[in-house]
Amino acid sequence: MNMQKVLVTGGAGYIGSHVVQQLASRGEHVVVIDNLSSGYREAVRGAELVVGNVGDAALVESVLRANDIDAVMHFAAHTVVPESVSDPLKYYGNNTCNTRNLLAACEAAGVDKFIFSSTAAVYGLTEHGVADEDTPTHPANPYGTSKLMSEMMLCDYCMTGRMRHVILRYFNVAGCDPKGRIGHSAPTATLLVKAACEHAVGKRASMAIYGTDYDTPDGTGIRDYIHVEDLASAHLRALDHLREGGVSLKLNCGYGHGYSVREVLDSVARVGGHPLNIVELPRREGDLAMLIACSDRLKQVLDWHPQYDDLDFIVRTALTWERKMVGEHARLSSVA
């Protein structure tokens, strides 16, 4: 296969950096654009980093042209749901308007393959707590709406025939590189597995369960957790699909089954080797009882086969990373 260069926006962030590492490991030439507002320079492994804003169309176009970019993978976005509710314009500006500018730069540079990082938040409340790609979309927050609007722009643009795309709708991403080289380093975590692992290593005094009266077996919310490395591999399969002339696709990324909040916390306690200090609080507005992916299309069309569909393994990789971060912080403190 002729390896041209791939542009990865947000490639210094949690998910983007894992995709960049997989791309580089198979010999791809990768260029990353990231403004480092939530990403980390040291997380970019095996790729060139351009520090800048993906909404800067002139910068992006110059990078595309200078590097003979073959395809774009677009991760750069704000992703915190409560923040999107309190500051919706920030999310529409960064997630939606910047995606429009990126597409314009792709058009100007003649880039015709695009992989978009979307989210299960586009679905909102579903009838039975399970979503396939044809489930109606009713986002419950501005974050989900900002991503859905970007999907709509991308689909409309691709209808012109000048681009093909793969939209990947993530469910609950968790875990870290099994070799411990990169991980989830965000200082204010909102994802359950990371937050629980932070508590397990002493970075949080307690761990909250929001809602214990849902109509689920143990009363807590159920979600579909996918290991970040399996999610990253789906992006590589999507890239191969487009390079082989495949049609535009919209695909769910999950394992097709879920775990409750209590089951996740039990796993963290089990893997960590000690009990957690759990505080039970009322439900949060907008939280759903259950959301599980139907990801049959991803497996069938892209021939995607997950390797890490095991909750304890997911937790173990996340916990290993948190312990590494604690050790690095202690080392730097002792030097200072």
Residue numbers annotated as active site: 143
Side chain identity at residue 143, one-letter code: Y
Residue 131: count other Cβ atoms within 10 Å of its Cβ.
Answer: 25
State whether the Cα torsion 44-49-53-56 is positive or negative.
negative
Contact 188, 79 (CB under 8 A): no
Contact 121, 170 (CB under 8 A): no
Residue 328: count other Cβ atoms within 10 Å of its Cβ.
Answer: 10
Residue 271 C-beta-side C-alpha neighbours within 13 Å: 25
Contact 236, 26 (CB under 8 A): yes
**Can you tell me the distance from the alpha carbon of 321 to that of 298, in angstroms, rounded to the nearest whole number?**
28
Angle between helices 261-272 and 192-200 (to 10 degrees): 30
Concatenated DSSP letters of 183-198: ----SS--SHHHHHHH
State whether the Cα torsion 139-141-145-147 is positive or negative.
negative
Side chain identity at residue 210, one-letter code: Y
Contact 253, 301 (CB under 8 A): no
Which residue in 168, 146, 164 sits closest to 155, CA to CA?
164
Q: What share of the chain is helix, strand, coil (3-state, %, to 5)?
A: 40, 20, 40
**Can you tell me the distance from the alpha carbon of 134 to that of 319, in angstroms, rounded to the nearest whole number?**
35
